[in-house]
Structure 1
């Protein structure tokens, strides 16, 4: 609603924000004419604005002449204050997890088609696998990526996969074998997956859940068996410590406050 007492109006900015807010609540996108009708304006008023929003990656053409919101704003939000706050809250817990397991670990979020490391802890001993903060890791063949996908609603999961394709195409179906894998991961609450990048490493991954039960992050231990005599917990013990850590982080994020989650349906 327009404030008639607003002395600092920016009509072009308002028009762009109106489009984004409209598309945020629409499944499948809208044509230029449908956008204009919904906003009570002429279709010609929106052509240049839609082209600029598409060029900047905020909207994408789908099914020919329809426009849909991309995940760019979601990705931007991941690196805004809430994500920094999550990394700050996670740091002492990740440090404690590293001490308990004698293994390195990392905190990962989804950002514009990729899993991105936003915090990490080195192993306390001489040996461990670490990944630089800011690294992009594969969404499909890593434990973190699988957990982020598994603990997302079906609609969001399709959008994440479409974003990962980097083609601007509509969301495509997820292979049945992956969906079956995600069901197993949701059922037990964590992922155990041999590393596709490093021989001998097993990725132990668990989700940090939002109040709705969707993953806002994943914590992964790249478990490395130690053979130099240094005492270390077993993979099973490390997994137990990991799940306890992510449960604590999920409580920080408000998980459990609403009582029901999509994952338990």
Structure 2
């Protein structure tokens, strides 16, 4: 069986650049791994997808190397290539997301189950990843006849829905804030309503190590008392924070 030398990394075509911008010449690290991770970061920052040409230009790396790295990542489902030749992050990352911050996840799960049944709505734990809110845990109610369902790993801009707004309201006041952030900071919970009529109510975790997390609920109809739901969500967030170190 043929083997490839680790020290040599890939066989680069003549004229290829020395590596990604920002990649050092430290021989104790893997240049290939560093390149692959940087490609994934760039793809993650491009929700509409990004092409091989754009990735090569952004990283200063030969197209052949970029293509080979993308094929490797795609084979393991870390990235996917759509019908237009654009690359996006793949489902394997969603599977790995369940291992992120196991302590806060373990603390949150039983509390989210109680919250989901109490409000008869889908409850969630969400964290900020850059400028996006990423769903880490989703708990659906068992007694509600109808409820909102969405996948763990779902990403949305922080400013779009209640979960992201709740995370933003826990941060220092910004000179130019997104709509709803100031109000959420005042009352302790954020509110949003999407074009399909789904209602989101969320509150940040009051914990110095987990201030980029929030918990909340998503429901199909506007509650009779949003304030009451908001208080329930705040209580759940406080209970989760009390269970983590």
Alignment counterpart, residue 160 of structure 2, candidates 136, 141, 152: 141
Describe the SS at the equivalent of 1:205.
strand
1:210 pairs with 2:218: no
Q: Is the contact between residue 202 and residue 223 of structure 1 (CA under 8 Å) also seen in structure 2? A: yes
Q: Please list every run of 5 or more consecutive structure 2 residues that lacks an aligned counterpart in the other structure.
A: 1-21, 43-95
- Note the C-alpha offset of 1:193: 1.7
Per-residue CA deviation, residues 3-33 of structure 1 (Å, 9 max, x unaligned), is xxxxxxxxxxxxxxxxxxxxxxxxxxxxx9x
- Note the C-alpha offset of 1:137: 2.2
- Note the C-alpha offset of 1:190: 0.9
Alignment of 1:53-72 (within 5 A): 55=35, 56-57=37-38
Match of 1:222 in 2: 218
1:198 pairs with 2:175: no
Per-residue CA deviation, residues 88-113 of structure 1 (Å, 9 max, x unaligned), is 21111111111111111111111243
Q: Is the contact between residue 105 and residue 130 of structure 1 (CA under 8 Å) also seen in structure 2? A: no
- Note the C-alpha offset of 1:206: 0.4
Match of 2:138 in 1: 120
Match of 1:88 in 2: 106
1:236 pairs with 2:227: yes
1:102 pairs with 2:120: yes
Change (3 A) 1:216 1:47: closer
Per-residue CA deviation, residues 15-69 of structure 1 (Å, 9 max, x unaligned), is xxxxxxxxxxxxxxxxx9xxxxxxxxxxxxx95249x598444999xxxxxxxxx
How far, CA to CA, are the matches of 2:101 and 2:235 in structure 1?
Answer: 20
Per-residue CA deviation, residues 228-250 of structure 1 (Å, 9 max, x unaligned), is xxxx8743322221111111112
- Note the C-alpha offset of 1:203: 1.0
CA RMSD for the aligned pairs?
3.5
- Note the C-alpha offset of 1:176: 2.3
How far, CA to CA, are the matches of 2:171 and 2:97 in structure 1?
Answer: 19
Match of 1:184 in 2: 183
Change (3 A) 1:204 1:80: closer
Larger relative contact order (C-alpha < 8 A, sep ≥ 6)?
Answer: 1
Per-residue CA deviation, residues 157-202 of structure 1 (Å, 9 max, x unaligned), is xxxxxxxxxxxxxxxxx77252x7423222211111222x522x22
- Note the C-alpha offset of 1:125: 1.4
How far, CA to CA, are the matches of 1:91 and 1:176 in structure 2?
Answer: 35
Structure number having the greater helix percentage: 1
1:48 pairs with 2:46: no
How far, CA to CA, are the matches of 2:133 and 2:177 in structure 1?
Answer: 20
- Note the C-alpha offset of 1:219: 1.1
Q: Is the contact between residue 223 and residue 235 of structure 1 (CA under 8 Å) also seen in structure 2? A: no
